[in-house]
Structure 1
């Protein structure tokens, strides 16, 4: 029997003034308490009750600051069942944020201190007939860690001396980051369950793919059970059934159980493997385990598993002496990771629902992505996130939740707390087919190394105990087949080296220096030349696990987030949406690309153009370098609030221009132009599939007036998983100037059409602000087909609606004179009409 506590009541008190005995009394009058749903969030409940303004409203952060300084008490009632001698009643909190005491009928059960752990208690001896009062009190984090101190550094906006966040095992971004507000959460953030167990219970299940034959016609897998048997009154057995993706039983067996663990090895013929989207289907098997006591079912688990192997190849790169690979290998096939970095989908992590996860991850899959990096300053995500990644074939790079700070190693209690967190999350997530790598932390090694070079010191990294010992030891025991990487970035002669490991590229945007490790580190260069996105071409790294450019969300989001008087360039409300500093940092990037804006509408367009064109340039460069470079993870994919950040998709589900540019640049087959130092231009074809590509491409040199100067058909032949140049023209042949452009198209639709400009966007001699001819066809209440025809060259054509989570088959594209397109516009959640559609270009 499992019961769920879906609604709780909550009230705040001055610290230390509330009494559990009063709150737990049967006669408690909770009329002045407010309801909080679980899953849910305290801030949202307070807003609904009229005690807080909208936390995401115009400059309302400061009005919400009092929440973190109060003591919060949550209460719920339940009727306990009768408990036999061979039974126990287990109360489980899957997530308590963070310093909490659990009370039952006025007596303390335990205190907790980690948001990332589940907490279970046998309450069989503490219940009473009839109603039972379950109470959880939360102490402010500032009170709980007031006596903590250690030498620290931090690269977040708020001073670490104020928050001491490195002593607190909770979501680090909640104290504010350079893309999110300061809204530290508190309370019950994940489900609470009550389970009556009889004789024994399934503690854990481990599914492992050990080997796949070279021909991929045979796989060896295993299932390991951990059983908690607390009664000797029955004979235990476990039934194991494995069904293929079509529901056909491929293995079935009943095991007699005599100890705490049992395991079996399975040999699967003709396995349906789990692949990333460009390589095949994300095939999932259904694993069912039933625990019986004397033939009575007492527990069961159903899970989806994938048969696949994943490794990281760090062998030497013979073509680039002194360098080594960093590439993921799926089922024996090296892949190029085309992906993004994920931050929590809301500041209120307990309130993100399943549809929100599915929308965001489906958008990632639609944009030809195959990897999501869960960043280490947020949370280990909800189960739905990993389930959907399994379904869609999206690999998950999973950071442990440590980011941009040193972490204490000198307190045994803290060390054991981290150890328990690590073990819990490994056991929780290891069965997911999408899980590709565990990573120790975000930027710890790199920032410590950078600071040592800046100061000439040699300070060790506080936290290395976890990355070098605690985590790898736990993985060796609990999940030895999933790769581990100690930090991102790390590897090579420095911890942001272009010779080995992964890199966070922040020359573009932040102006960090790109210098060899044996040279002194220079100052940041924030000049337009220093941060120009063309500097991506200087990066010869192995795997770029962070890089990005900020851009404003669209006007649809700004209209929701800002009152009308703040929808002005430079307004305090607009600037509050920018958490990076200085607030005008984007100007240096805009100057050479679009020039500086004079209106809010121009600000939206110019920042989105710069982000989109810059990421396109970077992706194409990194992909052309495969296999020497084997990954591109853009910072960042999503937003936790309606802010101005590096995101591709904003908080309300509107894709920025860069989302659509990225989708095209992440196509499994990419044709891209490369400018050489002497002004010549090469055409490259990059192939991420397992097929040899042979076909015909057409390269055209055209003018914005509509003339075609020349058209060159060319045959190409690109090996599986390869990348190479297939055409070159000299600067003299091209007559490079601002009125001309190059395009490449596929005669058999193998790749998307691409183009190359010979000047910055602001300097192009082209028509501006023209619109295509438009005809809108209503297919259904939820789908429109927008037919477009261009009477001139059109740049940055985009279609918008006021509805978030709207699907566009393409958006933010160019059209040549005489070109026609049909764009599918679909939203299953709302009715859309032709009147909702707006079309613009730049």
Structure 2
């Protein structure tokens, strides 16, 4: 089989009133009815909105309120067309495969209607053999019939009728901007007499990993039904990660046209989860050959060899699911993130965007990504990257809660459509070694706070499909998976739970999460305002001031649910400056999120892990629960999550952030160790607001691999010398791999507990580059350059939350350590990495000029509530 992509052809796009492309001419006058737009250049894969923007038909829909002026687009019909010559290859069958039509589409070739297709997750496939053979040139025309009616975040799940990505219709992190168009590739497949079909690859190990097993199942599809080639064989060749021969075999294919083969590999190189070893990938070549050796079809796949098991949590009730993932015999505490689609208009997302996302996940010590059921079954690029970099995938089918009711839909026709989408996803994704679990959807509930179970007809169908197509993997009916949906203060009722999504106040936040007894925490978050740098990209200057969401329509349009001004003023006092607002809001997001993660880690493996909501956002929000913003820049919460997820980490368990003068402070000290068991020495220092050392203790323990360990308790009396703010710093000394220090901030006032953090004046930092920009090796295909800086606090007061931003806007940038505190006289060496921005679609505008004009990266360093940068761009 040969695949010829048609996406690189010259495509055109035109808009029409509904049904006009079918009727073409007026019944009364006979005059041709032309479009509501002209023919304009189109991108495939892509979407209507970006092409309209490029040709000046709409303004940038992500700025201010301009998406409201684009809603007319979904009420028109849109026609894509292209022409291509007859391919100069021979074959028995020519098949047109449209891999992602979004959403209801009529497909024409040379004005012949091939068929109508509904659904964006299973391909439209048409036999075009005669058309190809009889015509020197072929015109392909796709008529997209507007968008279907569907609900956004609020509605009735039981009335869901489509397999359309629902976040498009309005979610708390998005607006209503409904994608239309071919969002995945369009190919012409050229088949011989027969070809491979339904290829399934499963790997396992035995004898404690001494023998690896690669099991291959396949069917043979005949394209000339009356002819069965004699002596068909399945030839398998497995190459090791260095390209050497690992195994080879040949199997006869019987009359039933099915086959199954097993390859055994002695002393295999095992694929591991990120943080637990390397991710070697074998190369599997699968050939369908005739008796004379002629190759009818050939496929290649990257294969990881590993054992994946699921076990019940320690002390878990008998009716719970096995939430602990065990890879190669080692229980893996899940340090996960949830993702949304990378863009509201997802057809234009570039491969580089996926790479930057996975790079950010890996650098943050993430080992699992949940692909959320209100978004997409993502493009292959994401799963390939997770295979390469050891990030497990939790894949949900496309269903989600709606608030008014959350009962899985059973409408006529919907279950059939759901089944088609699910079967296509199962067959496409099951061969990825990173795939770890399937879920029926997001927050499906048979009653309030009661997750749906396999007794639901909808979820029973999905479970049956998983057993049919991918039986080795775990299927969860929904996320959360009960018996209670949301995190609770009640004991003994929580298995996998969701929530909350905001800071719960002081001390409520710490009491709730510090004392919860759930088994798994598959979605939770805290909200925070984006950076002023990003805010300036999508808000006009007159909107750059702190506000409550209900008091400002444009802020409300970009993050209505996530207003934090009242919260932040309760903690920091009155806020009038937009930069201060962003700094204070991001601090509380980071503080709240870090505490939840550390509390979950302290309970491993009674708790099997946590999955933060949310890693990214599909359009720019003024405030949101995201960790990385639409433009690719990380918020403070990302960096504190990165530290909280570190393989080795010392943490402090506390129940409030205010401690009055005269009170007793008490908090336990813990160590977390995902590396080998080791001796641990944790030095704990207490500083007052000026950075003066008030107390120092050394705790010593044996840190068992994979286990949290309580080291001891820090106790002291809060004296007038602590007044205002005091800091507790934990350092795991001589750790290899190194453990990031942890700095916790407390205040002595119950009102505006962190207010005095805004009063530091005369902060003085010295920024000294230690190297020139040079090529960096990261294991990713993105071309990185890196440079080191020595940052010193040369002043008399602490410098809080030091960070750097790249100022040319030409690069995605990462600094290894961000939002750290330097006390007077302290210094830290940090490394910055940059790679050229390469976003697709609307992100193409968020770049620097033309290729030849790009300057080297320029970094600007600053700190908490600084009015100006502390250093010129370096």
TM-score over 0.5 for the alignment? yes
Matched position secondary structure for 2:414: helix
| Structure 2 match to 1:125 | 130
Instruction: Measure the CA separation in 2 of the matches of 1:346 and 1:819.
Output: 41
1:716 CA drift (Å): 1.6
- 1:741 is aligned to 2:719: no
What do you get for the CA RMSD once the two structures are aligned?
3.1
Deviations 1:511-547 (A, max 9, x none): 7xxxxxxxxxxxxxxxx56974663224321111111
| Structure 2 match to 1:753 | 741
| Structure 2 match to 1:800 | 805
Of 19, 38, 42 in structure 1, the residue corresponding to residue 22 of structure 2 is: 19
| Structure 2 match to 1:579 | 559
| Structure 2 match to 1:171 | 165
| Structure 1 match to 2:576 | 598
| Structure 1 match to 2:419 | 419
Change (3 A) 1:756 1:424: same
1:609 CA drift (Å): 0.8
| Structure 2 match to 1:10 | 13
| Structure 2 match to 1:367 | 364
Of 695, 706, 709 in structure 2, the residue corresponding to residue 710 of structure 1 is: 695
| Structure 1 match to 2:773 | 780
Contact 2:486 2:499 in 1 (8 A): no
1:316 CA drift (Å): 5.7
1:328 CA drift (Å): 1.6
1:784 CA drift (Å): 3.3
Instruction: Measure the CA separation in 2 of the matches of 1:707 and 1:530.
Output: 27
Contact 1:322 1:499 in 2 (8 A): no
Instruction: Measure the CA separation in 2 of the matches of 1:799 and 1:492.
Output: 44
Query: What does 1:103-252 align with in structure 2 at a 5 Å threshold?
Result: 103-127=108-132, 128-142=134-148, 156-157=153-154, 166-213=160-207, 215-231=208-224, 232=227, 234-235=229-230, 236-252=232-248
Matched position secondary structure for 1:664: helix
| Structure 1 match to 2:593 | 615
Query: What does 1:88-487 align with in structure 2 at a 5 Å threshold?
Result: 88-127=93-132, 128-142=134-148, 156-157=153-154, 166-213=160-207, 215-231=208-224, 232=227, 234-235=229-230, 236-258=232-254, 259-293=256-290, 294-314=292-312, 317=315, 326-405=323-402, 406=406, 410-445=410-445, 448-450=446-448, 464-467=456-459, 469-487=460-478
Change (3 A) 1:323 1:733: farther
| Structure 2 match to 1:672 | 651
Instruction: Measure the CA separation in 2 of the matches of 1:109 and 1:264.
Output: 37
Change (3 A) 1:774 1:493: closer
Deviations 1:379-428 (A, max 9, x none): 10110000001111001111111111457755453222211111110000
1:208 CA drift (Å): 1.0
Instruction: Measure the CA separation in 1 of the matches of 2:169 and 2:444.
Output: 18
Of 72, 78, 88 in structure 1, the residue corresponding to residue 78 of structure 2 is: 72
Contact 1:682 1:729 in 2 (8 A): yes
Change (3 A) 1:596 1:111: farther
- 1:636 is aligned to 2:643: no
Change (3 A) 1:545 1:408: closer
Change (3 A) 1:409 1:723: closer
| Structure 2 match to 1:514 | none
Matched position secondary structure for 1:115: coil
Instruction: Measure the CA separation in 1 of the matches of 2:181 and 2:498.
Output: 34
Change (3 A) 1:829 1:82: closer
Instruction: Measure the CA separation in 1 of the matches of 2:525 and 2:815.
Output: 23
Instruction: Measure the CA separation in 2 of the matches of 1:704 and 1:203.
Output: 67
Instruction: Measure the CA separation in 2 of the matches of 1:403 and 1:103.
Output: 33
| Structure 2 match to 1:521 | none
Deviations 1:580-617 (A, max 9, x none): 33x63x23432443334212112211111111111111
Of stretches 215-224 and 728-737 in structure 1, the one that deviates more from structure 2 is 728-737
Stretches of structure 2 lacking an aligned partner (at least 5 in a row): 27-31, 657-663, 748-752, 775-784, 838-853, 866-874
| Structure 2 match to 1:721 | 706
Instruction: Measure the CA separation in 1 of the matches of 2:356 and 2:112.
Output: 43
Of stretches 241-250 and 12-21 in structure 1, the one that deviates more from structure 2 is 12-21
Change (3 A) 1:358 1:20: farther
Matched position secondary structure for 1:47: helix
Contact 1:397 1:439 in 2 (8 A): yes
1:225 CA drift (Å): 1.5
Of stretches 480-489 and 553-562 in structure 1, the one that deviates more from structure 2 is 553-562
1:126 CA drift (Å): 3.7
Instruction: Measure the CA separation in 2 of the matches of 1:478 and 1:788.
Output: 55
Change (3 A) 1:567 1:733: closer
1:234 CA drift (Å): 3.0
1:473 CA drift (Å): 0.7
1:83 CA drift (Å): 9.2
Change (3 A) 1:549 1:470: same
Change (3 A) 1:578 1:537: farther
Instruction: Measure the CA separation in 2 of the matches of 1:58 and 1:462.
Output: 44
Contact 1:496 1:504 in 2 (8 A): yes
Contact 1:508 1:530 in 2 (8 A): no
Instruction: Measure the CA separation in 2 of the matches of 1:97 and 1:369.
Output: 31
Contact 2:249 2:263 in 1 (8 A): no
Contact 1:94 1:191 in 2 (8 A): yes
Contact 2:546 2:577 in 1 (8 A): yes
1:89 CA drift (Å): 0.7
Deviations 1:211-239 (A, max 9, x none): 433x3212333111222123326333222
Change (3 A) 1:381 1:776: same
Instruction: Measure the CA separation in 2 of the matches of 1:108 and 1:199.
Output: 26
Of 825, 830, 835 in structure 2, the residue corresponding to residue 828 of structure 1 is: 835
Matched position secondary structure for 1:275: coil
Of stretches 367-376 and 733-742 in structure 1, the one that deviates more from structure 2 is 733-742
Change (3 A) 1:28 1:217: farther
Of 805, 811, 819 in structure 1, the residue corresponding to residue 826 of structure 2 is: 819
| Structure 1 match to 2:843 | none
Contact 2:683 2:732 in 1 (8 A): yes
Stretches of structure 1 lacking an aligned partner (at least 5 in a row): 146-153, 454-459, 512-527
1:339 CA drift (Å): 1.4
Matched position secondary structure for 2:560: coil
1:88 CA drift (Å): 0.8
Of 601, 604, 625 in structure 2, the residue corresponding to residue 646 of structure 1 is: 625
1:742 CA drift (Å): 2.0
Matched position secondary structure for 2:130: coil
Instruction: Measure the CA separation in 2 of the matches of 1:20 and 1:769.
Output: 73
Deviations 1:168-190 (A, max 9, x none): 21111000100111101111111
Instruction: Measure the CA separation in 2 of the matches of 1:398 and 1:637.
Output: 15
Matched position secondary structure for 1:415: helix
Instruction: Measure the CA separation in 2 of the matches of 1:407 and 1:739.
Output: 49
Instruction: Measure the CA separation in 1 of the matches of 2:566 and 2:268.
Output: 53
1:706 CA drift (Å): 3.4
Instruction: Measure the CA separation in 1 of the matches of 2:421 and 2:828.
Output: 52
Matched position secondary structure for 1:3: strand
Change (3 A) 1:594 1:462: farther
Change (3 A) 1:730 1:529: closer
Contact 2:616 2:628 in 1 (8 A): yes
